[in-house]
């Protein structure tokens, strides 16, 4: 694992930031997770757009333009030894300052890129599918800390994921205060019903996942009907297929939710076709 801290590349042990950073003191900050395809950062422009949008929502001005961020990312990828693909996490925090919520109290944001070789999930995961669980922690409402903000402050997600792990589940599915399905702790969520794909709308309170966006584009391109619509537990329990999505995992079939088996209990045909289309598109877009 290596890191680029404010433009300086260093090994894991030497990567340090100030304890007075408001990222540490107040838990303020935003991040992005990227991976490479063929050693090139995938959909960098979209990730930077979302990073800027997240930063704006917490009154944080990014200290670098896209060209400079691109340069730092390229240098950091080049410094990762071995392996074919690279995992990248970009973190931006307000930087050190007096203990005050006043945004003028901090003047030098901290810009970190963490990188390591990317190990894709095992093929067995895609062949067998996974079991997820509905967790007790709600996804926050858009008028609280808006889930559109990809915030470094991941306490609810971490607690929800630990609940899922205690139950032996691969992921935790989070509902909102109205009981609508939103997303998983680290991924977006989809169901398939009568050959149509359904996914919760952003208004239900979820991250605008970049993989989710690409899946919507893939479905359009391949003529599979896809609708962003409110999904409740009844819809999930009567679904033919389900899957989750994220940058590092692409599309992972979900075959069981708690004790309930989805469809045939095997990864479904629509999910499998879409995963193939997604991978083709990913390679095409990364060239």
Ligand X SMILES: Cc1ncc(COP(=O)(O)O)c(C=O)c1O
Provide the binding-site residues for ligand X, judged by CB under 6 A. 33, 157, 183, 186-188, 207, 209-212, 245-247
Q: Least CB distance from residue 91 to ligand X, whole Å? A: 13
Distance (Å, rounded) from C-alpha 285 to C-alpha 263? 32
Q: In angstroms, how far is CA 207 from the centroid of its own chain?
A: 8
Strand partners, 211: none
Q: Between 171 and 241, whose beta carbon lies closer to ligand X?
A: 171
Nearer to ligand X (CB atom), residue 6 or residue 141: 141
Specify the residue, 9 or 161, whose C-beta has the smaller distance to ligand X. 161
Cβ proximity to ligand X, 9 vs 174, nearer residue: 174
Q: Residue 88 CB, nearest distance to ligand X (Å)?
A: 12
Residue 185's SS3 state is: coil
43 or 270: whose CB is closer to ligand X?
A: 43
- Tell me the closest approach of the beta carbon of residue 29 to ligand X, in angstroms: 14
Q: How near is the Cβ of 277 to ligand X at its closest, in Å?
A: 16
In angstroms, rounded to a whole number, what is the distance separating the alpha carbons of residues 94 and 101?
11
- Strand segments, DSSP code E, in the chain are 2-5, 8-11, 30-37, 40-41, 86-93, 110-117, 130-134, 171-175, 181-184, 188-193, 196-199, 226-228, 241-246, 250-257, 260-261
Nearest-approach distance from CB 120 to ligand X, in angstroms: 14
Please, what is the minimum distance in Å from the beta carbon of residue 247 to ligand X?
Answer: 3
Residue 186: DSSP 8-state: S
Residue 36 vs 106, nearer CB to ligand X = 36
Q: How far is the CB of 169 from ligand X (least distance, A)?
A: 16
| Integer Cα distance of 30 and 7 in angstroms | 18
160-to-163, 242, 243 alpha-carbon distances in Å: 5, 20, 19
Residue among 110 and 245 whose Cβ is closer to ligand X: 245
CA distance 224 to 168: 33
CA distance 105 to 164: 39
Locate tokens 């794909």: which residue? Answer: 197
């Amino acid at each position: 694992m290596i890191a680029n801290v404010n433009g300086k590349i260093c090994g894991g042990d030497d990567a340090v930031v100030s304890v007075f950073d408001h990222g540490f003191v107040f838990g303020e900050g935003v991040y992005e997770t990227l991976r490479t395809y063929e050693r090139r950062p995938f959909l960098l422009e979209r990730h930077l757009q979302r990073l800027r949008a997240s930063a704006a929502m917490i009154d944080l001005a990014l200290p670098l333009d896209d060209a400079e961020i691109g340069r730092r990312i390229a240098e950091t990828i080049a410094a990762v030894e071995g392996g074919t693909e690279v995992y990248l996490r970009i973190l931006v925090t307000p930087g050190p300052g007096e203990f005050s919520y006043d945004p003028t109290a901090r003047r030098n944001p901290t810009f970190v890129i963490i990188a390591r070789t990317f190990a894709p999930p095992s093929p067995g995961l895609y062949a067998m599918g996974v079991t997820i669980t509905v967790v007790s922690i709600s996804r926050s409402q858009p008028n609280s800390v808006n889930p559109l903000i990809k915030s470094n402050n991941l306490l609810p997600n971490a607690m929800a994921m630990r609940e899922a792990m205690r139950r032996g589940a691969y992921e935790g599915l989070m509902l909102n205060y109205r009981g609508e399905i939103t997303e998983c702790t680290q991924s977006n969520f989809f169901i398939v019903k009568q050959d149509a794909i359904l996914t919760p709308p952003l208004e239900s309170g979820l991250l605008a996942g970049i993989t989710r966006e690409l899946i919507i584009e893939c479905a359009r391109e391949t003529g599979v009907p896809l609708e962003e619509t409110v999904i409740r537990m009844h819809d999930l329990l009567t679904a033919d297929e389900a899957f989750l999505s994220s940058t590092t995992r692409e599309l992972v079939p979900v075959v069981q939710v708690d004790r309930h088996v989805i469809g045939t209990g095997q990864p479904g045909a629509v999910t499998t076709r879409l995963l193939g289309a997604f991978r083709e598109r990913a390679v095409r877009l990364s060239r």
